[in-house]
A and B are shown apart, each in its own frame.
Chain A
């Protein structure tokens, strides 16, 4: 439990302390045991059937889902009254992370336990849960989420599917086509979004065997070939009115809220996938010899492994910090009250920005990892005999589904500014302060003897960078800023990198005192490596935004401020990277 409850996006205006964050080092014995079970599931159940899964052999995915049900891996998020375990988000994300090493099946798993099951958990009536939830928790049934349509992807509410009440008032007739439905070929229960009377966006629980429901052929995909992706077609599909999920006309709330958790879960899953791919890269670097020595001896290879290590360290720091934020907030809601899930939803919605950050940041870390793992393998990375090629293909979808990274990036500054306007975030006040700091040449004095003094110092500057650039953008465009996507994307990069860097720093501050000396030095190396990269990225993105939104004197002042606020002394960077590489190569895996 954190010392202080942070609101969504509050990190930009309030400095958190090490007592405010949850880290992977804070897991309980039970949580670690659950992680072990997920690891064993990947090794003992998924790995032996991986090839059959990749060829979409009938029944393999369904059998795995049942086995995951037997292991209890599907019941983490569900209430105890329906056979769930009602565990916290940290546990849920830990399981998703470990299952992330399971390749295609991890996509089926995340879709089933996340966007497939959660709409029912959060919005279902008791009768609906009685009827369906138990089956989903045991894996007897699989679930799918049907939002996207052929002409409504990022424009998620632009779908054409309709629901028409029958004259007797007992059924809705669903018509329309849903596209790219994960688990489509074998799911037994679909959460389908359609407009009642072509107006009211509404969610429905639709059983696969409903007449009028047909599943299209498997899509031939670039990656995650072992997962099922099909269209699902509704032609006068007769759905009982009891199967309306939530309220008529409130489907968008379900769609977006569930996506928040979906994005968060994706961040966790890709972090597991990144660790899995990293292992192959580190092992190959040790095994492959060129010029008479293992290529692991070369700085070119070591630097890659070091950078990937800091990236994964940051991903983990983000995912579990966010889990802690959400869990702390959800823990304040009294259980067994009628409005529990409504308050619960608001609790998650509060962190929509951080969920988007986790999705974008972690999926892009995975992209870096698989790219460099192919590169470390050289020519062998390009051929299918080695797993690097598959990791590379499987990664790509993560930057597209659950909201493209562009949509998620736009959501970050968009939501921040909206909340500031509503008075939920004191952005204006803090921007004024940052502007003052910009004008007064008195840098913060921090005792350089304190651990991570340089990182603490620059973090304050990075937040000011965001505030002054965002302030300038608002001043220039006012309400029209929402249409200035290039500037918004640049602001998003700044906000995302700040959250990552702060999460890394807080984790290091929290865990360092309890670590043995050599481990502490490894963590300090990760902080240095990550901070250097983050500061560089923030400076670049902030300058980009400055050129987009300002000119003349304002631009000069902004650029000067960015320069001053993004100064970071990374002395010892090379030693830090070599240290991380050595740790990764000795362990032959992600070393934290």
Chain B
């Protein structure tokens, strides 16, 4: 059974860039910061591509953002996704609005499965997937992982971690929980968010990069979707945590006690 897969892709600050808040705390200094696809989303794209390779079908990648977000969509297309959808929007969003916008995209694309990163590494919200499933009233599995290690032969052979039943109606997901993994069985359509240990994303081949230029990338104005775009969560201020004071070496327990008592005042 061919699968139609929708994967979300977010443009985020490259974790290797130095991130500094602006002096007024309204945002970060973007000068010299580079951007890339959210690493969890890369894992989601990879998993969708493996599912497509196993079952046939189509991988659609979607993003919300300004024109620059096309770079990350093209990166996903270069990995092998078939086409892209960019919901054009400038300015701040929160997971509530993002999930509402994505619900509209899902309504239009009607995928069998939405695969998403468990969170974006810029604001680390970890809410959008769950909210999207709730809005769609679809089953959800979060933090999808894999039984095998990323060094295993299965991973070398690019075997998918998500298992779709032969009839294409059900999905088995291994997910990370505290102290182990559990296996969920979901009816499709469903929403899955992926964790770090699900797969090793491929890098785009050069022919893939050249082909990506010619793939369809459709743009939709966010304002045209009938979603209230006014943020319900507002970031008031960004600031760096205070620098940690250097530690001191104490001679014995008595000195430790007196310092904790008299100076740190914790005892």
Establish whether residues B203 and A30, one from each chain, have CB atoms under 8 Å apart when the complex forms. Answer: no
Establish whether residues A36 and B203, one from each chain, have CB atoms under 8 Å apart when the complex forms. Answer: yes
Asked if B75 is at the interface (CB within 8 A of a chain A CB), the reply is: yes
Asked if B209 is at the interface (CB within 8 A of a chain A CB), the reply is: yes
A33-B205 CB under 8 A given contacts A519-B31, A587-B18: no
Asked if B11 is at the interface (CB within 8 A of a chain A CB), the reply is: no
Establish whether residues A30 and B210, one from each chain, have CB atoms under 8 Å apart when the complex forms. Answer: yes
**Nearest B-chain residue to A76, judged by Cβ:** B206
**Nearest A-chain residue to B78, judged by Cβ:** A33
Query: Contacting B203 at CB < 8 Å: which of A37, A75, A516, A519?
Result: A37
Establish whether residues A41 and B203, one from each chain, have CB atoms under 8 Å apart when the complex forms. Answer: yes
Give the interface size class of chain B. 10 to 19
Establish whether residues A71 and B206, one from each chain, have CB atoms under 8 Å apart when the complex forms. Answer: yes
Give chain B nearest CB distance to A457 CB in angstroms.
Answer: 31
Docked pose: A516 CA to B206 CA in angstroms: 31
Contacts of B78 in A (CB 8 A): 33
Asked if B71 is at the interface (CB within 8 A of a chain A CB), the reply is: yes
Docked pose: A72 CA to B31 CA in angstroms: 33
Establish whether residues B31 and A518, one from each chain, have CB atoms under 8 Å apart when the complex forms. Answer: yes
Asked if A73 is at the interface (CB within 8 A of a chain B CB), the reply is: yes
Give chain B nearest CB distance to A352 CB in angstroms.
Answer: 28
Q: Considering the complex, which residues of chain B in the window 1-49 have a beta carbon less than 8 Å from any beta carbon of chain A?
A: 18, 31-32
Docked pose: A36 CA to B37 CA in angstroms: 12
Asked if B208 is at the interface (CB within 8 A of a chain A CB), the reply is: yes
Establish whether residues A70 and B209, one from each chain, have CB atoms under 8 Å apart when the complex forms. Answer: no
Establish whether residues A85 and B206, one from each chain, have CB atoms under 8 Å apart when the complex forms. Answer: yes
Q: Considering the complex, which residues of chain B in the window 168-221 have a beta carbon less than 8 Å from any beta carbon of chain A?
A: 200, 203-210, 212-213
Establish whether residues B208 and A44, one from each chain, have CB atoms under 8 Å apart when the complex forms. Answer: no
Establish whether residues A40 and B207, one from each chain, have CB atoms under 8 Å apart when the complex forms. Answer: no
Docked pose: A29 CA to B204 CA in angstroms: 13
Contacts of A71 in B (CB 8 A): 203, 205-206
Contacts of B208 in A (CB 8 A): 72
Contacts of B158 in A (CB 8 A): none
**Nearest A-chain residue to B200, judged by Cβ:** A44
Give chain A nearest CB distance to B160 CB in angstroms.
Answer: 19
Docked pose: A75 CA to B210 CA in angstroms: 12
What is the total of A-B residue contacts with beta carbons within 8 Å? 52
Establish whether residues B31 and A33, one from each chain, have CB atoms under 8 Å apart when the complex forms. Answer: no
Asked if B74 is at the interface (CB within 8 A of a chain A CB), the reply is: yes
Number of interface residues of A (CB under 8 A): 22
Establish whether residues B18 and A586, one from each chain, have CB atoms under 8 Å apart when the complex forms. Answer: yes
Contacts of A85 in B (CB 8 A): 206-207, 210
Q: Considering the complex, which residues of chain A in the window 149-188 have a beta carbon less than 8 Å from any beta carbon of chain B?
A: none
Interface of B is mostly: helix
Docked pose: A37 CA to B32 CA in angstroms: 21
A33-B74 CB under 8 A given contacts A516-B31, A586-B18, A587-B18: yes
**Nearest B-chain residue to A75, judged by Cβ:** B206
Docked pose: A40 CA to B206 CA in angstroms: 12
Q: Considering the complex, which residues of chain A in the window 130-144 have a beta carbon less than 8 Å from any beta carbon of chain B?
A: none
Establish whether residues B206 and A72, one from each chain, have CB atoms under 8 Å apart when the complex forms. Answer: yes
Establish whether residues A70 and B205, one from each chain, have CB atoms under 8 Å apart when the complex forms. Answer: yes
Docked pose: A483 CA to B139 CA in angstroms: 83
**Nearest B-chain residue to A587, judged by Cβ:** B18
Establish whether residues B74 and A75, one from each chain, have CB atoms under 8 Å apart when the complex forms. Answer: no
A29-B203 CB under 8 A given contacts A85-B210, A519-B31, A587-B18: no
Docked pose: A586 CA to B207 CA in angstroms: 36
Establish whether residues A34 and B207, one from each chain, have CB atoms under 8 Å apart when the complex forms. Answer: no
Establish whether residues B18 and A37, one from each chain, have CB atoms under 8 Å apart when the complex forms. Answer: no
Docked pose: A70 CA to B78 CA in angstroms: 14
Interface centre among A34, A70, A73, A586 (most CB of B within 10 A): A34
Docked pose: A87 CA to B78 CA in angstroms: 16
**Nearest A-chain residue to B32, judged by Cβ:** A519
Docked pose: A33 CA to B74 CA in angstroms: 9
Q: Considering the complex, which residues of chain A in the window 1-57 have a beta carbon less than 8 Å from any beta carbon of chain B?
A: 29-30, 33-34, 36-37, 40-41, 44
Give chain A nearest CB distance to B49 CB in angstroms.
Answer: 15
Query: Contacting B206 at CB < 8 Å: which of A37, A44, A518?
Result: A37
Give chain A nearest CB distance to B70 CB in angstroms.
Answer: 8
Establish whether residues A40 and B203, one from each chain, have CB atoms under 8 Å apart when the complex forms. Answer: yes
Interface centre among B71, B78, B209, B212 (most CB of A within 10 A): B209
Q: Mark A61-95, 1 if CB is under 8 A from B, else 0.
A: 00000000011110110000000010100000000
Docked pose: A36 CA to B203 CA in angstroms: 8
Q: Considering the complex, which residues of chain B in the window 60-95 have a beta carbon less than 8 Å from any beta carbon of chain A?
A: 71, 74-75, 78
Contacts of A75 in B (CB 8 A): 206-207
Establish whether residues B205 and A72, one from each chain, have CB atoms under 8 Å apart when the complex forms. Answer: yes
Establish whether residues B18 and A33, one from each chain, have CB atoms under 8 Å apart when the complex forms. Answer: no
Establish whether residues A37 and B207, one from each chain, have CB atoms under 8 Å apart when the complex forms. Answer: no
Contacts of B203 in A (CB 8 A): 36-37, 40-41, 44, 71
Q: Considering the complex, which residues of chain A in the window 502-545 have a beta carbon less than 8 Å from any beta carbon of chain B?
A: 516, 518-519
Docked pose: A209 CA to B206 CA in angstroms: 31
Query: Contacting A37 at CB < 8 Å: which of B71, B74, B205, B213?
Result: B205
Interface centre among B32, B78, B203, B212 (most CB of A within 10 A): B203
Known: A30-B210, A33-B209, A72-B206. 10 other contacts (CB 8 A): A33-B75, A33-B212, A34-B206, A36-B75, A37-B203, A37-B209, A71-B205, A75-B207, A516-B31, A519-B32
A-B contact pairs, 15 of them (CB 8 A): A30-B212, A30-B213, A33-B74, A33-B75, A33-B78, A33-B204, A33-B209, A34-B206, A36-B203, A71-B205, A72-B208, A75-B206, A76-B206, A85-B210, A519-B31
Q: Identify the 5 closest CB pairs spanning chains A and B, nearest first.
A: A72-B206, A40-B203, A72-B205, A33-B209, A516-B31
User: Which A residues lie at the B interface, using CB under 8 A?
Assistant: 29-30, 33-34, 36-37, 40-41, 44, 70-73, 75-76, 85, 87, 516, 518-519, 586-587
